[in-house]
Amino acid sequence: MVNRPRSRYKCVAMTDRITIALAQLNPVMGDIPGNIEKLRRVRVEAAQKGADLVLSTELSVSGYPPEDLVLKPAFQQKCRAAVEAFAAETGDGGPAIVVGTPWVEDGKLYNAALLLSDGAIAAARYKIDLPNYSVFDEKRVFAAATPQGPVSFRDMRLGLMICEDMWSPETTETLVESGAEMLLVPNGSPYEHDKHDQRIQLAACRVQESRLPLIYVNQMGGQDEVVFDGASFALDADATLAAQLPAWETRLGITRWERRNDGWRSLGGGEIVPVADGLAGIYSAMMRGLGDYVEKNGFPGVILGLSGGIDSALSAAVAVDALGADRVRAVMMPSPYTGRDSLEDAAECARLLGIRLDTISIEPAMRAFEGMLAPAFAGLAADTTEENIQSRARGITLMALSNKLGHMVLSTGNKSEMSVGYATLYGDMCGGYSVLKDVYKTTVFRLSDWRNREPPPGARGPAGRVMPDRVLTKPPTAELKPNQTDQDSLPPYEVLDAILEGLVEGELPVEAIVAKGFDRATVERVWRLLDLAEYKRRQAPPGVKITRRAFGRDRRYPITNAFRPGR
C-alpha cells in the first residue's frame, strides 16, 4: 500500500484530449539521486504546462549506456529503490511519467520503461531488440524481452518501444495488433553525422505502417566518447511533424492530442525547431562531448599545446566555446625547428580566443636527452627517434602542468593521423580527451573555416574569428626537423582521407578503392599503416564519436594481425 501525499494538483477527468510532455534530459551516469531530481523537476514543470503524461529518455534513471556498471547488484538495487520512491510521488494528482531504468524481474536484468502513475508503478515494458554493434553491446548485460502489448493509461492504450525496437517493423506490428493507439519511443540514440534524418525516416515508416502517431524522445549530452544530440520529435498519424525539439539542449516539449473518429491526432501548436547538421552539427557534438566530459568528471578546465597549427587551433576554439576562456590554458613549446610563423600564429590564436598562453622551450630537454643518450646512440645516425623525443618532451611538460594545476590535458590529434600512426606514443598522444579523434584532417580544415565565419549556437567563445587565416592556408607540419611537412611522410590529405573513409567507414577491399581511381600502391600502403597503428590507438585518450565508425568500441581490430590484402 503506497502512502500518497496530499494532492498539489487539480484532478483531471478523463477526456478525449491528452497533453504529453517530451523530457529531453542530460543524465549523469551513476548519479541516481541527481537523475531522479531532474525527472522530479521536469515533472513539476510539465504539470505547470498542463501535461497529463511525461515521456523521458532511455535509462534516464541510471544514465546511458551503463556498460558493466549495470551488472552490479548494488547499482540495480539503488535504481529500483529510487524508482519505487519516485513512483509514490505520482500519487499527488500530477502527471504520470515514463522513466527508463535497469530492472530485475524473475532473475533477469532488463532495459525497462516504467509507467509511474497514481502513486505506483502502473506498468513495465522491456526492450526487445538489443543492439550489439558499433558502440552498443547490450546483449552482454541485458536480457531480451519477448513481445509485449500496449500499456493502459486513462482511456487510451500506449505502445512503448525502447530505442532499437523502433528500427524494425516487428515490434510496431505487435503493438498495433494488440490495440495500441499511440507509439511512445524513449531513446538513447547517439549522434552521428547526418543521423537525424535517418531517425525521422525510420519513425515515418513506423507511422505509415501503423497509422498511429509516434513520439520520439532522445537523450542529450555527453557520456565518455558517446554524445547524444537530443533533437526529439513527434509525428502525427499522417507522418507530418507535430513537434521538433532543438538539438544540443535540455528541453521540455509539449504536445497536445485529440481522439477523433480515425484515432488520435495532433492539435498542433508544438514547438518545431530546425535541426542543423553538417559542420554545425559536428562542431556542436565536439563542444558537448568535451564540455560534459570536463563537467561530469569535475575538472577545473583544460590545458593544451598550442603549436600554431590548425589542429591545436581548432581544439582550443572548441574548448573555449564549450567551457569559456577562463577555463582554458595553452602552452607554446618551441624547439629549434619552430618557425616564426608558428610562434606568431599561436600567439594570435590565444589573443583571438582570450586565453592565457605560456611559452616553455623544450630545447633544454632536447639537449639533456641528447647528452644522456649519447653513449647508447654512439655511431648511430639521427632518425625519427630524435623527433619523437621532442614530442615526448612536450608531453611531459603538459602532464607536469596538468598535475600541478589540475587541468586536464586536451589532446589535439585528428583521425587521419591516428589512422596511419602519424603520432607519438607518450608525446602528442598524451591527454585525457580528444575532440578531433574522429575528425579527418580535411574536415578539420572545413570546420576551422566554418568556425571563423559562424558563431556556434551556445558557444562561450568570441563571435568572430578564432584563428588567423594563415593557419588555414599553410602546409601542415609537425616541425620536428628543418623544412618538414606532413606530405613528406603521407599522401595528400585529400587522397589519404578518401582512402581511409573507404577502409574504415566502408570496410572496402583494396580493389574497390583502386576501382575509384586511387593508386594501388598508395592504397596498400595506407592499409598497412592503418593495421600497424592499432597498438597506438589502443593507448589513445577517449574522444568524441562523430562518424559511423570511430576508433575504439566502434572498430575493434586485433593488434597482432598478419592478414594482408592479396594474401
Three cell numbers written together for 59: 535509462
58 is catalytic: yes
127 is catalytic: yes
Query: β-pairing, 251-260 with 356-359?
Result: unpaired
Dist. CA 204–CA 174, nearest whole Å = 17
First to last CA, the chain: 70
The helix (H) or strand (E) run that includes residue 242 is strand 241-244
Among 38, 89, 138, 163, which one carries the catalytic annotation? 163
283, 322 contact by CB (below 8 A): no
Strand partners, 241: 235
Three cell numbers written together for 56: 523521458
- Of residues 279, 275, 227, 231, the one with CA closest to residue 253: 231
- Of residues 154, 162, 202, 203, the one with CA closest to residue 181: 154
Place of cell 602532464: 399
Cβ atoms within 10 A of the Cβ of 560, count?
6
Cβ atoms within 10 A of the Cβ of 405, count?
12
42, 85 contact by CB (below 8 A): no
| DSSP of 34-62 | HHHHHHHHHHHHHHHTT-SEEE--TTTTT
216, 166 contact by CB (below 8 A): yes
Among 58, 138, 348, 387, which one carries the catalytic annotation? 58
Among 38, 79, 89, 127, which one carries the catalytic annotation? 127
| DSSP of 178-196 | TT-SEEEEEE--B--TTHH
3-state secondary structure of 217: strand
Three cell numbers written together for 412: 589535439
Dist. CA 306–CA 564, nearest whole Å = 38
Residues with active-site annotation: 58, 127, 163
